[in-house]
Structures are given as C-alpha cells and as structure tokens.
Amino acid sequence: MKLSREEVNDIALESRLLLTEKELDGAVKYINNFLDILDSFKELDLTNVEPFSFAEALECPLREDKVNAFTNTQGIFNESEHVDGSYFKVPRIMED
C-alpha cells in the first residue's frame, strides 16, 4: 500500500474535504488501487517524449485583446447569500 490512512486524510484536508470513516476507507482503497495501475507507466521509456499538446498548437486560435463587459452582474449577485454591496463577503480568513 503506497499511501496510509493518515496520508489520504491529509490529502483530503488539503482539498478541503472532511471524510467520514467509511468515506476514508473507500478513498484509501481507491487511491492505492489507482496508484498501482499508474505504475504501468514505468514500463514505457518516456525520456524524450514531450508532454501532450494538440497537434494544431501552432495555429492556436487567438482573439482580439478587447474587453467585453459582462452586463448581468445582478444575475451573479442574486445567486450568493454572501453579498455586501458589490462585493462578496466571506468569514474571517485569519484563524485563532
């Protein structure tokens, strides 16, 4: 097993996820199985292989560098319970 329960739980916390004991059991099994499968990459010689990009990268479409205003700002604010004027207000960031 590559990752212990504690390590998987630490990764979950990094992702801002609190797992139940059952979820943690499932995640430990899931990730360790997955990492075992990814070990198959070691069978390939990837030394001189470039990371993937679409073959047409050279003709990557560009658009004019022009700002187009998004007008439905009220539509955005209507969806949040944390609006203060024209800002989003969040709970305190610094912890005790």
Partner 1 sequence: MELYELDLYEASKGIKDKKFSPKELFESCKKRIDSCEDKIHAFITRTDGTAPVTENPNGIFAGVPTVLKDNLCTNGIRTTAASKILGNWKPPYDATAWKYLREAGAVLMGKVNMDEFAMGNTCGNSAFGPTHNPNDISRVPGGSSGGSAAAVSAGYVPFSLGSDTGGSIRQPASYCGVYGMKPTYGMVSRYGLISYGSSLDQIGPFARTIRDLQLVMSVLAQYDPMDSSCFREKNPDFTHNEDASIKGKRIALVKEFQNFTLDAPIAEAMKKTQKVLENNGAVITEVSLPVVSKYAVACYYALAMSEAHTNLERYDGVRYGYTVNDAAGIKEMFERVRSYGFGSEVKSRIIAGTCLTEPSRCDEYYVAATKVRTLIAQEFIRAFGECDFILQPVTPSLPHKIGEEDEDAMKGYETDLYTLPVNLAGLPGLSFFTGYDDATKLPVGLQLIGPRWSDSEILNAGMILERHLGSPKIANGGVK
Rg over alpha carbons for the chain, rounded to the nearest Å, is 23
Residue 1 binds partner 1, judged by CB under 8 A: no
Work out whether the CA dihedral 18, 22, 27, 32 comes out positive or negative: positive
- Shortest CB 86 distance to partner 1, Å: 13
Residue 6 binds partner 1, judged by CB under 8 A: no
Q: Which two tokens stand for residue 37?
A: 């499968």
Residue 88 binds partner 1, judged by CB under 8 A: yes
Which one among 37, 69, 85, 86 touches partner 1, defined by CB under 8 A? 37
Residue 35 binds partner 1, judged by CB under 8 A: yes
Q: CA-CA distance, 37 to 42, in Å (whole number)?
A: 10
